[in-house]
Amino acid sequence: MKRSKTMEFGVGLFMVAGILGLVFLGLRVSGLTFSAPSQSFQLEANFANIGSLKPRARVTMAGVTVGRVEAIELDTEWFDARVVLSLDSELEGQLSKDSIASILTAGLLGEQYIGLSVGGDPEMLEDGDTIRDTQSALVLEELIQQFVSNMASN
Amino acid sequence: MTDAPFIEIEELYFSRGDHEIFRGVNMTIPRGKVTAIMGPSGTGKTTLLKLIGGQLTPESGRILIDGQDVHKLSRKALFTLRKRMGMLFQSGALFSDLDVFENVAFPLRVHTDLPNTMVRDLVLLKLQSVGLRGARHLTPAELSGGMARRVALARAVALDPELILYDEPFVGQDPISMGVLVQLIKRLNQALQLTSVVVSHDIKETLSIADYLYLIADGQVVAHGTPQTLDTNEDPRVSQFIHGEPDGPVPFHYPAEAFYRDILGDAPMIQIG
Amino acid sequence: MQSKFSNSAARITRLGRRGCDLMEALGRAGVFLFQSAVGVPSREGWRLWLHQMHFVGVLSLAIVLVSGLFIGMVLALQGYTILVDFGAEQALGQMVALSLLRELAPVVAALLFAGRAGSALTAEIGLMKATEQLTSMEMIGVDPLRRVVAPRLWAGFVSLPILTVGFSVVGIWGGYLVGVEWLGVFEGSYWSNMQASVAFVDDIGNGMIKSAVFALVVTWIAVFQGYDLVPTSEGISRATTRTVVYSSLAVLGLDFVLTAIMFGGL
Domain that holds residue A4: 1-34
Average model confidence (pLDDT) for chain A? 83
| Predicted pLDDT of residue C100 | 94
- Give yes or no for residue A124 having a pLDDT over 50: yes
| Predicted pLDDT of residue B1 | 44
Whether A150 is in a domain gets the answer no
Profile chain B (273 residues) by mean pLDDT over runs of 10 residues.
75 83 86 85 81 85 86 84 85 85 89 88 88 87 86 87 86 80 84 85 82 84 81 75 72 71 65 53
| Predicted pLDDT of residue B270 | 57
Residue C101: its chain A contacts at CB < 8 A? 25, 29
Whether residues A54 and A28 fall in one domain:
no
pTM of the model: 0.78
Pairwise CB contact (< 8 Å): A32 & C200:
yes
Q: Say whether the A–B interface has 3 or more Cβ pairs within 8 Å.
A: no
Touching A: which chains, 3+ CB pairs < 8 A? C
Average model confidence (pLDDT) for chain C? 89
In angstroms, what separates the C-alpha of A109 from chain C's closest C-alpha? Answer: 7
Q: Which of C61, C163, C194 sits opposite A29 (nearest CB)?
A: C194
| Predicted pLDDT of residue C53 | 92
φ/ψ of residue B271, rounded to 5: -75, 125
* CA dist., res. C179 & res. C189, Å (int): 11
Whether A114 is in a domain gets the answer yes
CATH code of the domain containing B175: 3.40.50.300
Whether B250 is in a domain gets the answer no
| Predicted pLDDT of residue B90 | 80
Q: How many domains does chain B have?
A: 1
Whether B237 is in a domain gets the answer no
DSSP β-ladder status, B163-167 and B195-200: parallel
Q: Following DSSP, what letter does each residue of B64-132 receive, concatenated?
A: EETTEEGGGS-HHHHHHHHTTEEEE-TT----TTS-HHHHHHHHHHHH----HHHHHHHHHHHHHHTT-
Read off the amino acid at residue A64.
V
H or E segment to which residue C219 belongs? helix C206-228
| Predicted pLDDT of residue B24 | 84
Express each pLDDT in C27-76 by its tens digit: 888 888 888 877 666 777 888 888 899 999 999 999 999 999 999 999 99
Whether residues A19 and A86 fall in one domain:
no
Whether B3 is in a domain gets the answer no
Whether residues A98 and A45 fall in one domain:
yes
Beta bridge partners of B225: B213
Express each pLDDT in C183-225 by its tens digit: 988 888 888 888 878 888 888 999 999 999 999 999 999 999 9
Pairwise CB contact (< 8 Å): A14 & C161:
no
Whether residues A98 and A71 fall in one domain:
yes
Pairwise CB contact (< 8 Å): A7 & C194:
no
Closest CA to C152 of C226, C95, C91: C226
Please give the C-alpha separations between residue A75 and each of A48, B236, C161, in angstroms, as whole numbers. Answer: 10, 102, 42
Q: Is B198 helix (H, G, I), strand (E, B) or coil?
A: strand
Q: State the distance between the two ends of chain C, measured CA to CA, in whole angstroms.
A: 48
- Compute how many other C-beta atoms are within 10 angstroms of the C-beta atom of residue A138: 14
Whether residues A20 and A96 fall in one domain:
no
Whether A11 is in a domain gets the answer yes
- Give yes or no for residue C116 having a pLDDT over 60: yes
| Predicted pLDDT of residue C2 | 60
B96 interfaces chain C, CB cutoff of 8 Å: yes
Whether residues A11 and A80 fall in one domain:
no
Whether residues A67 and A135 fall in one domain:
yes
Q: How many domains does chain A have?
A: 2
| Predicted pLDDT of residue B268 | 58
CB B221 within 8 A of CB B45: no
In angstroms, what separates the C-alpha of B109 from chain C's closest C-alpha? Answer: 10
Whether residues A109 and A133 fall in one domain:
yes
When pLDDT is cut at 50, 70 and 90, the band that residue A1 belongs to is: very low
| Predicted pLDDT of residue C1 | 55
- Give yes or no for residue A90 having a pLDDT over 90: no
Whether residues A30 and A52 fall in one domain:
no
Express each pLDDT in C129-175 by its tens digit: 988 888 888 888 888 888 889 999 999 999 999 999 999 999 999 99
Whether residues A12 and A61 fall in one domain:
no
Whether B257 is in a domain gets the answer no
Express each pLDDT in C2-14 by its tens digit: 667 788 888 888 8
